[in-house]
Amino acid sequence: MARIVQKFGGTSVADIDRIRAVAARIKREVDAGDEVAVVVSAMAGVTNQLVDWTRQTCKLHDAREFDTVVASGEQVTAGLLALALQDRGVNARSWLGWQVPIRTDGIHGKARIREIPTGEIIRRMREGQVAVVAGFQGLGPDNRITTLGRGGSDTSAVALAAALHADRCDIFTDVDGVYTTDPRIVAKAKKLDRITYEEMLELASQGAKVLQTRSVEMAMNHRVRVQVLSSFNDAPGTLVVDEDEIVEQQVVSGIAYSRDEAKVTLIRVPDRPGVAAAIFGPLAEHAINVDMIVQNISEHGAFTDLTFTVGKADLDRTVKVLEEKRASLGFAVLKPDPNVVKISVIGVGMRSHVGVAQQMFKTLAEKNINIQVISTSEIKVSVLIAEEYTELALRALHTAYGLDAS
Amino acid sequence: MARIVQKFGGTSVADIDRIRAVAARIKREVDAGDEVAVVVSAMAGVTNQLVDWTRQTCKLHDAREFDTVVASGEQVTAGLLALALQDRGVNARSWLGWQVPIRTDGIHGKARIREIPTGEIIRRMREGQVAVVAGFQGLGPDNRITTLGRGGSDTSAVALAAALHADRCDIFTDVDGVYTTDPRIVAKAKKLDRITYEEMLELASQGAKVLQTRSVEMAMNHRVRVQVLSSFNDAPGTLVVDEDEIVEQQVVSGIAYSRDEAKVTLIRVPDRPGVAAAIFGPLAEHAINVDMIVQNISEHGAFTDLTFTVGKADLDRTVKVLEEKRASLGFAVLKPDPNVVKISVIGVGMRSHVGVAQQMFKTLAEKNINIQVISTSEIKVSVLIAEEYTELALRALHTAYGLDAS
């Protein structure tokens, strides 16, 4: 007998037929003798509708009212899934965030979970009752509904699994696991049986949209075994686990890409102490996140060229902020370029293997792909290249690192 | 300065434009210096959609989950209206049933309100904050959401007005007040400026669908001054008040009709002690409400004919229950008739005036309308007639009692 948390995303509970199918799936787990808690998202499209209504209603944004409106989507799904389970003879009840309560901080719209008391839920699970918990929501110190931000239901599920000391947290979604790279681009991409938390974290933050970054962080911190799998078929998924649970570790586990970044180059910036702070300070003040940064000495020693990336959505604002500071910063030319992609090679095996980055540079060079920016971390090498080479680079790297399905 | 509760029904908050219009209306009250609490229904159509989803999901009916799903409609409206008020510069916050909390008994699906603590809401109203309370919902002793049954938002509003010792409870709807009769049938129907609780109660229970019966009962018990008015125009509405607030009382205030009843006649029932109990006992056991009852001695002294009415929706079940008991009851013929209408003449003035019933019988006789059943109460005379005469009877009575608009 195991204790399992199962989370179903919006496409998995998109309509009443899907909710009934999900109930059937949960029943199999219950019939196998497991204790099951379930976390649900809103039915696909519902959250967008609710968000849209709040935007139509007011220009101002009171995040407390926003949370009150938007959290209703998960409330509906939780009640309906409890009913669908009962209809199949499974003892079940819904739990809203304030009923558990899932205590969060008071940052409405992107609250963080602080505590989940589980005594009552565990008592009922032991009696065979399935807890159907509304995801994405909690209760703030002000006794009002908080929400956890986009994709927050993944975080709800992992946090609940941690609080329940669950043996596993199954994240059901519309893909059947984590792949070595995007199978829509690389036909030979393989589903991974296992991946480490660290790798999953890099994959999530480098653009693979399977799991929300915060939920992976939380799983890693609390050592929650997470399984990513599809609610549309019965194929086994990908297990996200501790490094020591993976017997034969690949050097490279996966290759991610992100088209969400844009490049900014400042040419002939006067090279004096404090220039980086003078450039990036104003961007931080405007809540613009800077990712990769490279600084080169230009031909004349007194100047430097600076290249960095920001979110594509922030590019126009970035240009505006820097142009306003042109006089004090003293750069000659500002070149924005949205047509770039960041490709990241990820694997914990890099820690003990040399030559991973070199292999990447060599492979891209062989395809005549110019590398514009490089950044590395302990288990990741990222490069920025022209966007038009995305598919070519992904396929070449996938083959070069021996990831192709045979 | 007054303290006012305003309730807006589903058609009044049907979409974002309507919600913004409602906010503008509330602002006028706030700008006039009044303390305002608001009760809202779900956006028109939303509750039906939610109910429909629960029915599609399961054959069983767990009223606790039903309440969890269905109450989300009012939650959304409450949040959106608070946002719309803020957008107009009005300080406002939403209150869900569990946040106030509106404490109810544990009868999910048709809970009764027990207690509404108002200290915090009053404190904030005094500081100029508008409380936007989700109608139709409360918190049961099991710490779960309860709902108050169809039309429950009227009851929420009146109960809140009572708890707040409000000077008035405005019920905004899609008609602009209480009329002497249905203006869709009688063009000369007049809007009443004032009506007594007792009359409103009879009108509500006799088929006029302006206010929910329970809310009128509660208003009467707690002496809450209720105003019924339209959210679609600025015309003054109808005030529902104590009898002593009405200076010049009409003998008859209004004429109601209900097509929701059906007639059952049992012919040649053996006339022995206990026969009524033997007939109506099984109906009560099947939760079938009997309204009007008439018993006649038939031509042979040993038998009686019995006529009564039940809800039209219960007619088939009524026939089935009685046919199963035919042997023990011993009646000769059972005649069901769904083609009837109940017409009721209502007025507190009847207490001090004679001849009101006689006027009714005479008026109907002049139009050759046969009266099938009669029942009376202190302030009401009801007759059952063939449904086809509905319009004719309403118009003739409206004229006969001097109610026609000049």
Query: Tens digits of per-residue pLDDT, A220-254?
Result: 999 999 999 999 899 999 999 998 888 777 889 99
> What's the pLDDT tens digit per position in A360-372?
999 999 999 999 9
A383: which strand partners?
Answer: A343, A374
Tell me, yes or no, whether A29 lies in a domain: yes
Split at pLDDT 50, 70, 90, the class of A304 is: confident
Tell me, yes or no, whether B104 lies in a domain: yes
Q: B370 in helix, strand or coil?
A: coil
Interatomic CA distance for residues A28 and A38, integer angstroms: 13
Interatomic CA distance for residues B387 and B257, integer angstroms: 10
Parallel/antiparallel/unpaired status of strands B238-241 and B254-258: unpaired
Extended strands (E) in A49-125: 92-95, 103-104, 113-115
Predicted confidence at residue B298, as pLDDT, reads 60
- Establish if B173 touches chain A: CB-CB under 8 angstroms: no
Distance of CA A63 to the CA centre of its chain: 22
Interatomic CA distance for residues B22 and A26, integer angstroms: 44
Which residue's entry shows tokens 């006029």? B208
Tell me, yes or no, whether B201 lies in a domain: no
Q: Report whether B253 contacts B325 (CB < 8 A).
A: no
Residue A41, token pair as written in the block = 């998202």
Interatomic CA distance for residues A110 and B79, integer angstroms: 18
CA B234-B235-B238 angle, 5° bins:
125
Extended strands (E) in A100-211: 103-104, 113-115, 130-134, 137-139, 145-147, 168-173, 194-196
Distance of CA A314 to the CA centre of its chain: 19
Task: Select from B15, B48, B69 the residue whose CB has the most chain A CBs within 10 Å, as the one to mutate to test that interface.
Answer: B69
Min Cα distance B111 → chain A (Å) is 18
Min Cα distance A103 → chain B (Å) is 15
Task: Look up residue A369 and give its DSSP letter.
Answer: P
CB contacts of A59 in chain B (<8 Å) are 87
CB contacts of A98 in chain B (<8 Å) are 98
Tell me, yes or no, whether B93 lies in a domain: yes
- Establish if B288 touches chain A: CB-CB under 8 angstroms: no
Q: Give the sign of the dihedral formed by CA A122, CA A124, CA A125, CA A130.
A: negative
Min Cα distance A56 → chain B (Å) is 7
Q: Report whether B189 contacts B132 (CB < 8 A).
A: no
List phi, psi (to 5°) of A162: -65, -45
Closest CA to A64 of A116, A142, A152: A142
Interatomic CA distance for residues B318 and B76, integer angstroms: 40
- Establish if B50 touches chain A: CB-CB under 8 angstroms: yes
Interatomic CA distance for residues A326 and A66, integer angstroms: 39
- Establish if B14 touches chain A: CB-CB under 8 angstroms: no
CB contact under 8 Å between A87 and B60, yes or no, is yes
Closest CA to A373 of A306, A323, A322, A324: A306
Interatomic CA distance for residues A340 and A387, integer angstroms: 4
The number of folded domains in chain B is 1
Long-range contacts of B116-119 (CB under 8 A, 24+ apart): B116/B159, B116/B160, B116/B163, B117/B163, B118/B160, B118/B163, B118/B164
- Establish if A241 touches chain B: CB-CB under 8 angstroms: no
Predicted confidence at residue B313, as pLDDT, reads 92
> What's the pLDDT tens digit per position in B251-298?
899 999 999 999 999 998 888 878 888 899 999 999 899 999 888 766
Predicted confidence at residue B152, as pLDDT, reads 93
What's the predicted TM-score (pTM) here? 0.86
Please tell me which of the candidates B54, B76, B87 has its beta carbon nearest to residue A72.
B76
Buried residues in A54-83 as b, exposed as e (16+ CB within 10 A): beebbeeebbbbbbbbbbbbbbbbbbbbbb
Number of neighbours of residue A362 by Cβ within 10 angstroms: 11
Q: Does residue A207 surpass a pLDDT of 70? A: no
Split at pLDDT 50, 70, 90, the class of A300 is: low
CB contact under 8 Å between B79 and A98, yes or no, is no
Q: Which of residues 114-133 of B touch A (CB under 8 A)?
A: none
Predicted confidence at residue B299, as pLDDT, reads 63
CB contact under 8 Å between B86 and A58, yes or no, is yes
Split at pLDDT 50, 70, 90, the class of A215 is: very high
Closest CA to B243 of B378, B349, B356: B349
Min Cα distance B78 → chain A (Å) is 8
Average pLDDT (A10-27) is 96
- Residues 6 or more apart in contact with residue A169 via CB below 8 angstroms: A4, A5, A6, A7, A157, A158, A160, A161, A219, A224, A225, A226, A227
C-alpha Rg value of chain B to the nearest Å: 24
Which residue's entry shows tokens 């939780």? A78
Average pLDDT (A250-265) is 93
What is the distance between the terminal CA atoms of chain A, rounded to a whole angstrom?
A: 37
- Establish if B3 touches chain A: CB-CB under 8 angstroms: no
Residues belonging to chain B: 406
Closest CA to A23 of A11, A6, A35, A10: A6
Q: Which of residues 306-335 of A touch B (CB under 8 A)?
A: none
Distance of CA B285 to the CA centre of its chain: 25
Q: Report the residue of chain A nearest B91, measured CA to CA.
A: A62
Predicted confidence at residue A111, as pLDDT, reads 95
Predicted confidence at residue A253, as pLDDT, reads 93
Q: Between the CA atoms of A353, A357, A359 and A362, what dihedral angle is there, to the nearest 10 degrees?
A: -160
> C-alpha distances in angstroms, A82 versus A37, A79, B386?
11, 5, 47
- Residue B53 sits in a domain of what CATH number? 3.40.1160.10
Q: Between the CA atoms of B175, B177, B178 and B180, what dihedral angle is there, to the nearest 10 degrees?
A: -90
Tell me, yes or no, whether A80 lies in a domain: yes
Q: Report the residue of chain B nearest A66, measured CA to CA.
A: B79
Please tell me which of the candidates A58, A76, A98 has its beta carbon nearest to residue B83.
A58
Closest CA to A290 of A303, A273, A275, A276: A276
CB contact under 8 Å between B84 and A53, yes or no, is no
CB contacts of A86 in chain B (<8 Å) are 58, 60, 62, 65
Min Cα distance A30 → chain B (Å) is 19
CB contact under 8 Å between B99 and A72, yes or no, is no
- Residues 6 or more apart in contact with residue B397 via CB below 8 angstroms: B255, B343, B345, B360, B363, B364
> What's the pLDDT tens digit per position in A317-365?
999 999 999 998 889 999 999 999 999 999 988 888 888 999 999 999 9
Locate all alpha helices (DSSP H) within B63-107, ordered by sequence.
63-70, 72-87
> C-alpha distances in angstroms, A249 versus A226, A350, A354, B139, B266?
18, 10, 15, 53, 86
Predicted confidence at residue B174, as pLDDT, reads 84
Q: Does residue A129 surpass a pLDDT of 90? A: yes
Tell me, yes or no, whether A307 lies in a domain: no
Predicted confidence at residue A298, as pLDDT, reads 60
CB contacts of A56 in chain B (<8 Å) are 16
Min Cα distance B92 → chain A (Å) is 10
B28: which strand partners?
Answer: none
Q: Report whether B172 contacts B118 (CB < 8 A).
A: no
CB contact under 8 Å between A84 and B58, yes or no, is yes
CB contacts of B59 in chain A (<8 Å) are 87
Q: A365 in helix, strand or coil?
A: helix
- Establish if A99 touches chain B: CB-CB under 8 angstroms: yes
Q: Report the residue of chain B nearest A52, measured CA to CA.
A: B16
> What's the pLDDT tens digit per position in A46-83?
999 999 999 999 987 899 999 999 999 999 999 999 99
Interatomic CA distance for residues A219 and A157, integer angstroms: 10
Q: Which residues of chain B have pLDDT under 70?
A: 207-208, 297-300
CB contacts of B143 in chain A (<8 Å) are 99
Predicted confidence at residue B44, as pLDDT, reads 93
A382: left (phi over 0), alpha (psi -120 to 50) or beta: beta
Interatomic CA distance for residues B308 and B263, integer angstroms: 6
CB contact under 8 Å between B68 and A78, yes or no, is yes
Number of neighbours of residue B301 by Cβ within 10 angstroms: 8
CA B191-B194-B195 angle, 5° bins:
100
Distance of CA B298 to the CA centre of its chain: 37
Closest CA to B26 of B106, B66, B78, B84: B84
Tell me, yes or no, whether B254 lies in a domain: no
CB contact under 8 Å between A62 and B16, yes or no, is no
> C-alpha distances in angstroms, A42 versus A80, A354, B71, B344?
11, 46, 15, 48
Q: Does residue A190 surpass a pLDDT of 90? A: yes
Tell me, yes or no, whether A162 lies in a domain: yes
Q: Which of residues 54-73 of A touch B (CB under 8 A)?
A: 54, 56-60, 62, 64-66, 68-69, 72
Q: Report whether B345 contacts B396 (CB < 8 A).
A: no
Q: Does residue A219 surpass a pLDDT of 80? A: yes
List phi, psi (to 5°) of A106: -95, 15
- Residues 6 or more apart in contact with residue B130 via CB below 8 angstroms: B26, B30, B36, B37, B38, B82, B85, B90, B91, B92, B93
Distance of CA B129 to the CA centre of its chain: 31
Min Cα distance B145 → chain A (Å) is 10
Residues of the domain holding A92 = 3-174
